[in-house]
Structure 1
Amino acid sequence: MLGRTYDSQLCSIARTLEIVGERWTLLIIRDAQLGLRRFEEFQDSLGIARNVLTNRLSKLVDDGLLERVCYQERPARYEYRPTAKAKDLLTAVLSLMHWGDEYVGEPAGPPRIANHVGCGGDVREQLVCTHCGQVVGPDAVHLLPGPALTSPA
């Protein structure tokens, strides 16, 4: 069983969990993707304790997922903007959302729908082969040892 940290795991998933594995983190990232920027907006959306939110926002800034930007000088007030690193989590966030819609969803339907800005169509994440461009299902994917597992440490 994994402890509270995954430092000894030679696994990209474990290392990612070190950054986004705490229960509030992906919800803060979700809200930032939805356009929330200010501390009070995150707190109102999540119902999270102020001290917990302060710690999570600080960690997300330290990890390079959010940028803390001053929007008012007196008194100093800040907003939190998603970085490119946070925006690159969109595929994972959408995958979790769609999985949740499918397996633990609301009877009335999904709470949110991902829409393409260009044409209005639904957006779905897919597994695509980088060699041939074919869309593949989970049964067509083999996880093989990569360079970190096959080269000497």
Structure 2
Amino acid sequence: MSVRTAFAAALKVLRKKRGLTQVALSGTITQSHVSQIESGKTSPSLAAIIELARVMELSPVALMALVCAAQDELTPSEVLEVAKEDLQSISLLNAAIPMEVEAKPHPGVTAAAKTREKVQALKKKGFSQADIARKLEMAESTVRRHWHRSV
């Protein structure tokens, strides 16, 4: 069974179990989008999955356990046990995940900063823009761009 079909089936069962209509289920998601999800015509985004779970007063993990159970023909309990074992095997079951993602500058930004440093160093030594362009083998327009910026 495809994930889309499994999600449709799980959502329908869960919505009916909660006694909700598609209209009642639609919070920030429109009723027509809920209908398309339930008919398997579209897949929900992660934000939509979280919103649907919130409206049904259910954790997103529980909703996805139902989806995975439908897809793999398992029970939600079996799915959660496998997930627990997976997280335990990589030592993340009881780990707190940091919310800050280490920002790495784009390689182009790094390269531009190095070029700027070279241009500024030669500028301090008294080289002209044309001399720097020849020395660093780059266009004078590139040198000009870095000439007026500080390191």
Answer with 1 or 2: which has the greater Rg.
2
Say which structure, 1 or 2, has more relative contact order (CA 8 Å, 6+ apart): 2
**TM-score normalised by length of structure 2:** 0.27
More strand by share: 1
More helix by share: 2
**TM-score normalised by length of structure 1:** 0.26
